[in-house]
Chain A
């Protein structure tokens, strides 16, 4: 029973990170109808930037801020320099270009930092706090929950309460009409990429210390899990991404706790297939027919 409770909280903490990462995917999907397969590599690049700043200054928080700013910039660069020029008539070309980006980013990271695991520090202890005799959550898990919650609230406020958010939604929903009404659609697209990339960077910062460490390929499995989470929730729905993330986090935590951690990739595959075959639109899909 203790183990079950521990795995549940561990899964929720993992799930929060997956939710953030899935949210980043959903943001770009809603803005540009692209599943950003380069999200993982971009997030790792931002995390490396944070690592450099942290090791230069000795302050975790400076590195944290640097990674977030780095994430924003990477999103802008990727959208402005690459994605803008991709032919959008076939969904294949976007995916293929994103995969090319993955290769480039991972190779550059490997050249600059080397292909070994670098230790990533945490600002808070990862030792679990116990209630009675049952170990529940570490301070770090609480930090993860807080950070993800803050991002969720921030994004919700941005999209529903501000004029920028309204313009972003408008340009995703009806680009031509928005352009006629004076919305800078291209700029909104860039902003969407930047925000998504920063959220992805945050997720990478939060998850990497709980895994083996910083590595160019550190986010490969996280990306696949987050994609599953986004699909579980329906690629179109931000609340769906959060619920999907928590669900996938819990399932993966139980699987790796009871069956062994090397089963996790297969569990992700089975889960993804099951969701796509049973309910392809996801649990929170609003559209009747899936078009993409």
Chain B
């Protein structure tokens, strides 16, 4: 998934340029993008499946959280990195997905509908509703640039949590809703750990999202997205409908965020406006920037960071003995400060993020290897 700058004037139907790969792939794999991504996804799936067997419940839950975040960060990478549209409202879009899934799950439970089809159905519903919300914002966003777009999406991020208070009969205000989630299917055994089941569900969603997005990025649509990002006028001259492309990017990105939010609701088994505040939106943006905006792999680093960094700061804060009052103040704020500082430093010193850094190191190692 290497970063490529596409000359926007190139005919849109030109064949996909062969991606630069560090590993030599067999011919049949480098030929078909879909096949290559499918193989990668299956490989990742098998590895993750084995991993979930080894991890203890808490780590599995963290893995599931990473997967849920990954859906949202991958969508945001597509929007910001590939299409150049900044969204500060993805936390709010996650909230839309989460609340839809919560309401759907509870409605199914009330009606007594159970079974394996309930979960995918309510997740799909969450994705659809978020797509609709994304289309509305995207239509407005396609007409806006730079700071204006950032301002509107910021307003979205502030307004959506407040909406749960206004319509409190449906959303139950600040307390939020609890989500009825069925236990793991009995066919897996009576004592199957719930966390492992959650990890499976979330990872399936994340792998599916990554597969679809990776294909999209490599397709004609993906090239259009990047062409619009690099030069709108040139893209328009090449026959790309700029507005339509931008709305499409927003809708796809919103769908991923909706899935991520829905998975979050399932993992936490509750939804509340506090979980989807402006801070979450900023976190997501920060995660994709630190991970690296240029490629979807950056989104993986970002998602891992979102889960790992609070954990790390918590652990490191416990190494120093602090009074309970100080520790309580540091508890939530230290990760925030570390996040913010990292964001500024990355933005100024290493705009490529973690993925860009890795790529540079990789390139240097490869250059040095033949010299030996």
Seen from chain A, the residues whose Cβ lies within 8 Å of a Cβ on chain B are 34-35, 37, 82, 85-87, 90-93, 95-97, 99-108, 110-112, 114-115, 217, 220-221, 224, 227-228, 231, 235, 260, 262-266, 268-269, 272-273, 276-277, 280, 290, 292
Stretch at the interface among B152-160, B202-210, B258-266, B296-304: B152-160
Contact B154–A227 (Cβ < 8 Å)? yes
Known: A227-B151, A231-B148. A97 touches B162 (CB 8 A): no
| Inter-chain contacts of B344 with A (CB < 8 A) | 82, 97, 100-101, 104
Question: Which of B143, B159, B351 is A266 in contact with, Cβ under 8 Å?
Answer: B159
Contact B285–A99 (Cβ < 8 Å)? yes
Seen from chain B, the residues whose Cβ lies within 8 Å of a Cβ on chain A are 80, 84, 86, 88, 140, 143-148, 150-152, 154-156, 158-159, 162-163, 165-166, 278-279, 282, 285-286, 289, 329-330, 332-337, 339-344, 347-348, 351
Q: Closest residue to A230 on the B side, CB-wise?
A: B151
Contact A96–B347 (Cβ < 8 Å)? yes
Q: Closest residue to A91 on the B side, CB-wise?
A: B146
CB<8 Å pairs between A and B, sample of 26: A35-B150, A37-B147, A91-B147, A92-B86, A95-B86, A95-B146, A95-B150, A96-B285, A97-B343, A99-B343, A103-B286, A103-B340, A104-B337, A105-B340, A106-B333, A106-B336, A107-B340, A108-B337, A110-B329, A111-B330, A231-B151, A265-B162, A269-B158, A273-B152, A292-B145, A292-B147
Report the separation of the CA atoms of residues A96 and B154 in the bound assembly, to the nearest whole angstrom: 12
Contact A266–B340 (Cβ < 8 Å)? no
CB distance from A18 to the nearest CB of B (A): 14
Q: Closest residue to A114 on the B side, CB-wise?
A: B329
The DSSP consensus for interface residues of chain B is helix
Q: Closest residue to B288 on the A side, CB-wise?
A: A96
Contact A100–B162 (Cβ < 8 Å)? no
Report the separation of the CA atoms of residues A228 and B147 in the bound assembly, to the nearest whole angstrom: 12
Apart from A106-B336, A115-B332, list 12 A-B contacts with CB within 8 A: A35-B151, A96-B86, A97-B344, A99-B343, A103-B337, A115-B333, A265-B155, A266-B162, A276-B140, A276-B152, A292-B146, A292-B148
Question: Which of A95, A104, A227, A262 is B341 in contact with, Cβ under 8 Å?
Answer: A104
Report the separation of the CA atoms of residues A80 and B347 in the bound assembly, to the nearest whole angstrom: 16
Residue among B147, B278, B351 having the largest count of chain A Cβ atoms under 10 Å? B147
| Inter-chain contacts of A114 with B (CB < 8 A) | 329
Contact A263–B340 (Cβ < 8 Å)? no
Known: A86-B348, A99-B286, A104-B340. A265 touches B158 (CB 8 A): yes
Q: Closest residue to A105 on the B side, CB-wise?
A: B340
Question: Which of B147, B329, B332, B341 is A100 in contact with, Cβ under 8 Å?
Answer: B341
Contact A224–B158 (Cβ < 8 Å)? yes
Known: A103-B343, A107-B334. A263 touches B148 (CB 8 A): no
Report the separation of the CA atoms of residues A63 and B63 in the bound assembly, to the nearest whole angstrom: 48
Report the separation of the CA atoms of residues A106 and B333 in the bound assembly, to the nearest whole angstrom: 8
Report the separation of the CA atoms of residues A78 and B262 in the bound assembly, to the nearest whole angstrom: 38
| Inter-chain contacts of B335 with A (CB < 8 A) | 107
Contact A220–B158 (Cβ < 8 Å)? yes
Contact B337–A277 (Cβ < 8 Å)? no
Contact A85–B348 (Cβ < 8 Å)? yes
Question: Which of A217, A227, A280 is B144 in contact with, Cβ under 8 Å?
Answer: A280
Contact A277–B140 (Cβ < 8 Å)? yes
| Inter-chain contacts of B162 with A (CB < 8 A) | 262-266
| Inter-chain contacts of B159 with A (CB < 8 A) | 265-266, 268-269
CB distance from A209 to the nearest CB of B (A): 21
Residue among A35, A112, A276 having the largest count of chain B Cβ atoms under 10 Å? A276
| Inter-chain contacts of B155 with A (CB < 8 A) | 224, 227-228, 265, 268-269, 272-273
CB distance from A223 to the nearest CB of B (A): 8
Known: A103-B282, A104-B341. A280 touches B143 (CB 8 A): yes
Known: A93-B347, A224-B154, A260-B166. A111 touches B289 (CB 8 A): no
Contact A276–B148 (Cβ < 8 Å)? yes
Nearest 4 pairs of A and B residues by beta carbon: A103-B340, A100-B343, A104-B340, A107-B336
Residue among B84, B154, B339 having the largest count of chain A Cβ atoms under 10 Å? B154
CB distance from B160 to the nearest CB of A (A): 8
Contact A103–B336 (Cβ < 8 Å)? yes
Contact B340–A101 (Cβ < 8 Å)? yes
| Inter-chain contacts of A37 with B (CB < 8 A) | 147, 150, 154
| Inter-chain contacts of B289 with A (CB < 8 A) | 96
| Inter-chain contacts of B144 with A (CB < 8 A) | 276, 280
Q: Closest residue to A84 on the B side, CB-wise?
A: B348
Report the separation of the CA atoms of residues A269 and B285 in the bound assembly, to the nearest whole angstrom: 20
CB distance from B147 to the nearest CB of A (A): 4
Contact A268–B86 (Cβ < 8 Å)? no
Q: Closest residue to A216 on the B side, CB-wise?
A: B333
Report the separation of the CA atoms of residues A268 and B153 in the bound assembly, to the nearest whole angstrom: 12
Report the separation of the CA atoms of residues A265 and B282 in the bound assembly, to the nearest whole angstrom: 18
Report the separation of the CA atoms of residues A231 and B145 in the bound assembly, to the nearest whole angstrom: 13
Report the separation of the CA atoms of residues A180 and B332 in the bound assembly, to the nearest whole angstrom: 50
Report the separation of the CA atoms of residues A50 and B212 in the bound assembly, to the nearest whole angstrom: 52
Q: Closest residue to B289 on the A side, CB-wise?
A: A96
Question: Which of A110, A224, A231 is B333 in contact with, Cβ under 8 Å?
Answer: A110
| Inter-chain contacts of B165 with A (CB < 8 A) | 262
Q: Closest residue to B344 on the A side, CB-wise?
A: A100
